[in-house]
């Protein structure tokens, strides 16, 4: 009886499967099997799911269950993992958390969101976290499209006033293939300004978007110039910007510039060249 009691007590602390000497709380020396379910349309993630495979022919959603951080409650399943694979040929699967909860990706590129778009061929591993939602293991971004241009060495005169001028050598055109893609834009350029002694000014930048939809993006990007003795002085500029949640389609992005905060007698402000780069990355 004493021996039987000892073995029973040990079982409460560590459990071994196909091993008499478990080294962890649960030690499995063999294969592990979980519930497998295939879906072809919008569905709900169930408590008994383990691996869900999506094989639909149209874009669909998988709704995540509401969860709680209250110990002992039916909705407290912190630490539970789900494996979700998009095995469709060309349709997206959007993972959607319940209202008030988020899917956390972490990092500088990713943004916490109520939804995550799972592209064809991608796998997501979700872990139930605290009351605010879910943790998403890394889904690597892949480069889908890239466009670059080189500067045309020719003066573009920037007129005084409040109207923005579109730099003619800046436009880059890319294709956004599916929802959830990110467009990362980078522009550089240089120019000259001329004026009297102690003349000065600033050039401010913004982005123009045309194509499937149009938009203007204000940038926290400006470059000041100053000439102490008069004559011509050089300046350069650069900016970077990321855009998400664009609808699938083709877009052209152009850099625009305006003169502001000038003092003294300014005779001219020119841009001699600009170069742009756009990258479209998808999960």
C-alpha torsion 242→248→252→255, nearest 10: -20
Two tokens, residue 201? 């000014």
Q: Can you tell me the distance from the alpha carbon of 56 to that of 38, in angstroms, rounded to the nearest whole number?
A: 9
Quick: pLDDT tens for 160-172.
Answer: 999 999 999 999 9
Identify whether the C-beta of residue 103 lies closer than 8 Å to the C-beta of residue 113: yes
Domains for the chain: give ranges and CATH numbers: 33-140 (2.60.120), 143-282 (2.60.120)
Residue 131, Cβ density class (10 Å: 0-12 exposed, 13-18 middle, ≥19 buried)? middle
Pick the residue with more confidence: 70 or 57?
Answer: 57
Q: What confidence category does residue 2 fall into, taking pLDDT thresholds of 50, 70 and 90?
A: very low
Two tokens, residue 205? 């930048």
Quick: pLDDT tens for 13-27.
Answer: 788 888 888 878 887
Q: Which of 256, 189, 261 is nearest to 226 (CA)?
A: 261
pLDDT at position 283 is 66
> What mean pLDDT is predicted for residues 153-162?
91
| pLDDT above 90 as % of the chain | 49
Identify whether the C-beta of residue 133 lies closer than 8 Å to the C-beta of residue 75: no
Quick: pLDDT tens for 79-131.
Answer: 888 999 999 988 889 999 888 888 887 654 455 678 888 888 888 899 888 76
Q: Among 5-14, 30-39, 120-129, 246-255, which is the least confidently predicted range? A: 5-14
The H-or-E segment that residue 264 falls in is none
pLDDT at position 13 is 75
> What mean pLDDT is predicted for residues 195-204?
95
Quick: pLDDT tens for 34-49.
Answer: 899 999 999 999 989 9
Q: What confidence category does residue 140 fall into, taking pLDDT thresholds of 50, 70 and 90?
A: low
Residue with tokens 């039916």, as numbered in its chain: 74
Q: What DSSP letter does each residue of 103-172 carry, written as one string?
A: EE--TTT---BSEEEE-TT-EEEEEE-STTEEEE-----EEEEEEE-----S-EE--SSS--EE-TT--E
The H-or-E segment that residue 37 falls in is strand 36-39
Is the model's pTM score more than 0.75? no
pLDDT of residue 250 exceeding 70: yes
pLDDT at position 102 is 84
pLDDT at position 115 is 84
Pick the residue with more confidence: 155 or 152?
Answer: 155
In degrees, to the nearest 5, what angle opens at C-alpha 251 toward C-alphas 95 and 60? 20
Q: Can you tell me the distance from the alpha carbon of 24 to that of 275, in angstroms, rounded to the nearest whole number?
A: 58
């Amino acid at each position: 009886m004493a021996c039987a009691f000892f073995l029973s007590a040990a079982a409460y602390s560590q459990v071994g499967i196909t091993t008499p000497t478990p080294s962890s709380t649960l030690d499995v020396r063999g294969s592990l099997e979980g519930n497998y379910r295939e879906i072809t349309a919008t569905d709900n993630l169930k408590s008994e799911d383990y691996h869900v495979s999506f094989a639909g022919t149209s874009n669909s959603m998988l709704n995540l269950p509401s969860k709680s951080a209250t110990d002992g409650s039916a909705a407290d399943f912190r630490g539970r993992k789900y494996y979700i694979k998009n095995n469709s040929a060309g349709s997206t699967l959007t993972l959607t958390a319940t209202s008030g909860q988020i899917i956390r990706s972490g990092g500088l590129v990713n943004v916490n969101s109520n939804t995550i778009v799972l592209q064809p061929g991608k796998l997501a591993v979700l872990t139930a976290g605290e009351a605010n939602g879910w943790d998403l293991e890394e889904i690597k971004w892949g480069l889908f499209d890239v466009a670059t241009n080189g500067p045309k060495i020719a003066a573009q005169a920037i007129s005084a006033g409040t109207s923005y001028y579109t730099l003619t050598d800046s436009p880059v055109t890319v294709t956004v293939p599916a929802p959830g893609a990110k467009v990362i834009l980078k522009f550089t350029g240089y120019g000259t300004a001329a004026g009297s002694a102690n003349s000065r000014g600033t050039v401010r930048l913004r982005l123009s978007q045309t194509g499937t939809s149009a938009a203007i993006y204000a940038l926290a990007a400006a470059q000041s110039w100053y000439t102490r003795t008069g004559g011509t002085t050089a300046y350069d500029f650069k900016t970077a910007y990321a855009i998400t949640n664009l609808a699938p389609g083709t877009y052209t992005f152009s850099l625009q510039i305006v003169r502001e905060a000038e003092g003294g007698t300014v005779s001219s402000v020119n841009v001699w060249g600009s170069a742009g780069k756009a990258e479209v990355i998808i999960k």
